Amino acid sequence: MACKSWPPACAGRLRLVAAGFSRQAPIGNIIPMTVWLNGEYHTEPSATLPAFAAGALLGWGVFTTIGVWHRRAFALPLHLARLRRDAAALDIPLEFDDKILAEALENIIGHNGVSQGIARITAWRRGDGRWNRETGGDVSIMALPPVPNAPYPGSLRLALSPFRLDARRPLAGVKSTSYAEYQRIWLEVRARGYDEAVVLNSDGAICEAARANVFWARDGALWTPSLECGPLPGIGREIVLDWAAQDGITVHQGAFEVAELAAADEVFLLSAATGPRTMQSFHDGQDHVYQWPGTITRQLQAYWQAAV
């Protein structure tokens, strides 16, 4: 069922696959939820975009993943600003204003019963000039509760990835739906029994984790790779840098070798969708064990809990 009004009350044609966790019962391997697509609400378990759209054929799209706490989307203005910046970088039309997107997201969170979890806004381009000459784009919004049985944040283990990212790659700094590279990095460390990967760039400097920015603390200061090293300029990263400046915590941004991470007192990964996650250890051929949570991480976690 699809409808432009809320709550959904009319039939529609467009459908978009919505897989994840919700309060509704699963149908096969797809768990239905209400999603918003191009101004319409859909309550059907699945839907499709045209197979010849650039978003489907080329991964020509951008997205942002938003943390939901207390039924509220955290730091939404920052997420929408980045989504528009990334969409402009990839020449993706984003035809809905922030007010419409914010209202739709609030409705999706409420209808799917997500008091705590994640939400995602995705924008795709339609035409690529070869397979499809259509103009315009498509936008979807969905939300789901946390994944059941997720590891306790203090028990997470990092491992060095054998893969590298080019700091000068064309999409560096853009949160693109061409995400298979990051998924492959994450799956490789998962297969070895670790929870997250630390990825170096082509110059051998620390870049980022597969699904988050990486920070570490030593001697009361914070360290994180600079944007010139090729990491995604995450919303959580931006929030932490602002918090550190307000609290008088020195932050070193630059190109750092793996030895810097191995010698840290404490390490945390940062995504605005999940908040700060403390790391128990890091494996780079040897196992390095950290304080978890350490002093700075505890301060940040307290700040984060108050902010959300």
pLDDT tens over the chain, length 308 residues? 555 555 544 333 333 333 333 334 443 455 568 899 999 888 765 556 778 889 888 999 999 999 999 999 999 999 999 999 999 999 999 999 999 999 999 999 999 999 999 999 999 999 888 888 888 899 999 999 887 666 655 678 999 999 999 999 999 999 999 999 999 999 999 999 999 999 999 999 999 999 999 999 999 999 999 999 999 999 999 999 999 999 999 999 999 999 999 999 999 999 999 899 999 999 999 999 998 888 999 999 999 999 99
pLDDT of residue 64: 97
C-alpha span between 177 and 180 (Å, rounded): 8
pLDDT of residue 293: 81
pLDDT of residue 149: 62
DSSP class of residue 183 equals H
Residue located via tokens 């590298």: 164
C-alpha span between 43 and 307 (Å, rounded): 32
DSSP class of residue 284 equals S
H or E stretch at 239? helix 235-247
Concatenated DSSP letters of 89-130: HTT----S-HHHHHHHHHHHHHHTT-SEEEEEEEEEE---SS
Q: Give the number of C-alpha atoms closer than 13 A to the C-alpha of residue 230, restricted to the C-beta side.
A: 23
pLDDT of residue 33: 81
Q: Decide: 89 and 174 in contact? Cβ < 8 Å.
A: yes
H or E stretch at 292? none
Instruction: Compute the C-alpha angle 95/87/4, nearest 5°.
Output: 30
Going along the chain from its start, the domains and CATH numbers come out as 2-144 (3.30.470.10), 153-307 (3.20.10.10)
